[in-house]
Amino acid sequence: MRASLVVPTLNEERSIAEVLRTFHHAADEANRTIFREAPVDWEILVVDGASADRTRELAAAEGARVIVEPRRGYGRAYKTGFREARGDVIATSDGDGTYPVETIPAAVRRLLDERIDFLSGDRMSRVTRRSMTTEHRFGNGLLNLFLRIAYHRYLAKLPRHIVEDSQSGYWVFRRQVLDRVHLTSDGMAFSEELKIEAIVRGLRFVEAPIAYGERATPPKLQSGRDGIRNLWFLATKRFAVAREIRRGPPVPFARGEGPSVPP
């Protein structure tokens, strides 16, 4: 089986090499143990938003295929990465060292064994004050609450009837998911949109508690501005989902927009 790790970056030279080395070690160990009978062939895609430091050089030195995406946006980087990925399973992580990339191979094993479509990491169950500020925890809690209220009809189908971390960027999912979901956000709201789409389309969605570390680089998220934008997106997305009753389902991501990287 082939799998892809997609990592968006922007000026992550202090952390990207260690993130990729940690993942390589975990993937090699998993191929000797839990995937011994059928080792996973991993490709690593680093989608870089025109970093001004040595991020691209360091990522390439660690064996990653580096794609420069000049169009701005967190979601835009992931869309580009997803279109370029060739794996049967796609995993994601940030390049700042906050997500436990060493747990990704085990998450893939669980995805396959339990016939899950989409596994999302839940930071909030184990978050500490050192890894996430009080302001960010409050903002995440507010967004999670709004999502539970606005999308309760769909969340009722989940085993726990709840999403603990709507903003997490740690995902492991089957490639076929891209044949079902409709993705519109190019910004930070992409995290919540991808989860909402997986749930609304009736895919088998689970959350798994994960550790969340301290950032190696200054945060790019602006709590107030981005929080308001994400809240607004959750509301407008809910109306868009409701309109599908009259208009029919939208075009899935896999059959949507054209080339991932502009000429």
Q: Where are the domains of the chain?
A: 2-255
Per-range mean pLDDT, top range of 15-19, 142-146, 160-164, 242-246: 15-19
What is the Cα 33 distance to its own chain's centre? Answer: 26
CB 98 within 8 Å of CB 184: no
127-145 pLDDT, tens digit each: 776 667 777 787 888 899 9
Compute the average pLDDT of residues 21-48: 98
Least reliable range by pLDDT among 50-59, 96-105, 108-117, 153-162:
153-162
DSSP per-residue letters across 104-134: HHHHHHHHHHTT-SEEEEE-TTT--TTTS-H
Report pLDDT digits (tens) over 161-214. Answer: 789 999 999 999 999 999 999 999 999 999 999 999 999 999 999 999 999 987
Please report the pLDDT score of residue 257 as a whole number.
56
pLDDT the model gives residue 9: 97
Q: What is the CATH number of domain 2-255?
A: 3.90.550.10
**109-114: long-range contacts (C-beta < 8 A, 24 or more apart)?**
109/30, 109/34, 109/35, 110/208, 111/172, 111/173, 111/174, 114/206
- Alpha-carbon distance 123 to 146, whole Å? 18
Confidence class for position 159, pLDDT limits 50, 70, 90: confident
Q: Which two tokens stand for residue 59?
A: 């990522």
pLDDT of residue 259: 45
pLDDT (0 to 100) of residue 221: 58
User: Which tens digit of pLDDT belongs to each residue from 78-93?
Assistant: 999 999 999 999 999 9
Look at phi and psi of residue 47 and say left if phi exceeds 0, alpha if psi is from -120 to 50, else beta: beta
How many C-beta atoms surround the C-beta of residue 236 within 10 A?
12
Alpha carbon distance 119, 173 (integer Å): 6
Per-residue confidence band for 215, with pLDDT thresholds at 50, 70 and 90: low
Q: Supply φ then ψ for residue 6, to 5 degrees.
A: -110, 125
pLDDT at residue 261 greater than cutoff 80: no
